[in-house]
Structure 1
Amino acid sequence: MTVKEIMVIGAGQMGAGIALVFARSGYEVKLYDADIEALRRGKQYIEKVFEKDIAKGKMEADTKEKALNRLQLVVDLEADPITADFIIEAVVEKLEVKKEVFRKLDELAPTHTIFATNTSSLPITEIAAVTGRAEQFIGMHFMNPVPVMKLVEIIRGLETSESTCQTVQELTEALGKQDVEVKDFPGFVSNRILMPMINEAVYTVFEGIASIEDVDQVMKLGMNHPMGPLQLADFIGLDTCLSIMEILHEGFGDSKYRPCPLLRQYVQAGRLGKKAGRGFYTYSD
């Protein structure tokens, strides 16, 4: 299947990043969000990344303008007929919210349209089941920040067809990224490994073994990680980390995935990380 037009649902950091890489790669892109302020921030983010690329000599000014001209902001899904060949969702990491998004899209989108979810941990098969096109449904998990990170996890649901998987692999290659196909299990590969590490780092602080800064220093200097696990958690969002740990804990029923009480307490306090100005660290604008 030839894909010409992309629609991205959700203009947060992940959605805006996904829209950016598609527009930069020559696709016509519609970025949807019911919140017009979220759309404004999303476009500002895209423009900021492009400006940085120009400053570094990675992009020409006219290339930026062409990419922005391929990007259209949408605040009402029903105002005009959906014409996208491929729709990817990047809304909040909550199962029922994602299901509701795809129920609506299934009614509005053309029958040939492929659906993808950028979920980092939720079951692809279960989300696909709310649509009438499970064979055209797939997981396409981008890494954050999307414009920089090369990996895309591709996750087939039980009914995902070979042609759908091949189309998404070709899209990934067209974006200059590398795909890894994984099975539909909680957390897939990336977060099944990453989140328990972050959770264990939180436990070392909770149990008084080391300070926040020292835990991160051990992983940066001792394991050569570019960023410590607690700083990384702040960038991901502590609410997102907690949600994924709960999904792993429920999905596998194994106590090793039990979220650290301190992580839960930080989320309850509104200390959600960089986006809230405070998590394990404090951030200014």
Structure 2
Amino acid sequence: MTTTPPSPSAPAVVGVIGGGRMGAGIAQSFAAAGSSVVVVESSAQAAAAALDRVATGLKRAAERGKLIEPAERVLARVTTADSVDGLPAEAELVVEAAPEDTALKARLLAAAERAVSTTTVLATNTSSLSVAELASALTRPGRFLGMHFFNPVPASELVEIVVAPYTEAAVISAALDWTHALGKSDVVVKDSPGFASSRLGVALGLEAIRMVEEGVAEPESIDDAMTLGYKHPMGPLRLTDLVGLDVRLAIAEYLHTTLGERFAPPQLLRDKVARGELGRKTGQGFYTWQ
């Protein structure tokens, strides 16, 4: 007699550090999968804004028929705290989704480790920073790994699982189960600059920016070449606008430092960031956004 293996289940309790676009999306995804979620922000005002982002995301998901429960019921599973000390000790998983700053992330992760159980899995949502370097701030590096979610988190299909040298096999297995419980697929990569997704994605994006800088073609034409010719779902310049030019610049600078000149940021990217043309979030990047 063949038995069907049990379906993976989401953690009962999850903490998310950072309630910006990515953190709110992570919180929404786990809450929709049945988890009780605590979102940590830097102040009561920021925490309220994070909760509003989750509510807005759930409303949109409900309108698209992507929720199996009423949005209000899912939102009731999300609470906030204005300090890492407010993380629930019983959390099975804490995901750090702070800005791409190694010192900031390390400080928050170390504080989170002190606030939760010794069995809690800690994860960073970094898209490029060294997971091993962040692990050095922890007393239990075996309970730590990277879980790189993609924007927009609720609609994205992928989580990149980044394994550091001391990550325990059981922690990797748990992260894979939780990824599948969210209805997402995984790729597992060893810790290295930019992992797989950012390293390849940034390389393509930077070359597209150089082509605009050199006058090879307009942004629309470059993007069409990739969407129509290579079946990419979105062109590299439109994707850069979606991710944020400031985010792309920060990742490129890190990869330039760690991997060499091929990741040197184009001057056009630096100029746009200096002018505040950061993409969709500011209304102007390589495209004009409503």
TM-score norm. by structure 1 comes to 0.93
Correspondence list, 1:162-181, <5 A? 162-181=169-188
Which of 179, 200, 204 in structure 2 is aligned with 1:197? Answer: 204
User: How big is the alpha-carbon RMSD for the aligned residues of Structure 1 and Structure 2?
Assistant: 1.9
90, 95, 107: which one aligns with 2:97: 90
Which runs of 5 or more residues in structure 2 are unaligned?
1-8
Deviation, structure 1 residue 57: 3.1
Alignment TM-score, normalising by the size of structure 2: 0.91
Q: Which of the numbers 138, 144, 153 marks the counterpart of 2:145?
A: 138
Q: In the alignment, residue 175 of structure 1 is paired with which amino acid?
A: L
**Residue 273 in structure 1 maps to residue 266 in structure 2:** no
Q: How does 1:4-19 map to 2 (within 5 A)?
A: 4-19=12-27
Structure 2 distance, partners of 1:40, 1:277, is 24
Letter of the 1:23 counterpart: A
Q: Percent identity?
A: 39
User: What is residue 5 of structure 2 aligned with on the other side?
Assistant: none
Offset at residue 79 of structure 1 (A): 5.2
Deviation at 1:235, TM superposition (A): 0.7
Distance between the aligned counterparts of 1:246 and 1:117, measured in 2? 20
Answer whether contact 2:164 2:191 (CA < 8 A) is retained: yes
Structure 2 residue aligned with 1:228: 235
CA distance, structure 2, for counterparts of residue 97 and residue 77 of structure 1: 13
Instruction: Give the Å deviation of 1:215.
Output: 1.8
Deviation of 1:93 after TM superposition, in Å, equals 0.9
Taking a change above 3 Å as real, the CA distance of residues 227 and 37 of structure 1, as seen in their structure-2 partners, is farther
Task: Tell me the secondary structure at the aligned position of residue 204 of structure 1.
Answer: helix
The Cα offsets for residues 24-67 of structure 1, whole Å up to 9 and x where unpaired, read as: 0011110111144443333233223322333333335x532221
Aligned mates of 2:62, 2:10 — CA distance in 1: 30
Answer with 262-271 or 36-45: which moved more.
Answer: 36-45
Verify: 1:77 aligned to 2:84, yes or no: yes
- Cross-structure match for 1:108: 115
More deviation, 264-273/136-145: 264-273
CA 1:80–1:206 in 2, change beyond 3 Å: closer, same or farther? closer
Q: Which amino acid aligns with 1:57?
A: G
Measure, in 1, the Cα distance between the counterparts of 2:218 and 2:104.
Answer: 36
Equivalences for residues 27-66 of structure 1 within 5 A: 27-59=35-67, 62-66=69-73
Does the residue aligned with 1:58 lie in a helix, a strand or coil?
coil
For 2:87 and 2:177, how far apart are their aligned partners in 1? Answer: 28
Q: Which residue of 1 aligns with 2:33?
A: 25
- Where 1:275 maps in the other structure, the secondary structure is coil
How far apart are the structure 2 equivalents of 1:80 and 1:257? 37
The Cα of 1:68 is off from its aligned counterpart by: 1.1
Q: Distance in 1 between matches of 2:67 and 2:248?
A: 34
Gaps of 5+ in 1: none
Cα separation, partners in 2 of 1:79 and 1:6, compared to 1, 3 Å: closer
Contact kept, 8 Å, 2:81 with 2:87, in 1: the verdict is no
Using the TM superposition, give the Cα deviation of residue 117 of structure 1 relative to its aligned residue in structure 2, in angstroms: 0.2
1-structure distance, mates of 2:79, 2:99: 22
> Quick check: 1:261 aligned with 2:238?
no
Write out per-residue CA displacement over residues 82-109 of structure 1, whole angstroms, 9 at most, x where no aligned residue.
4322100011011111111112222222
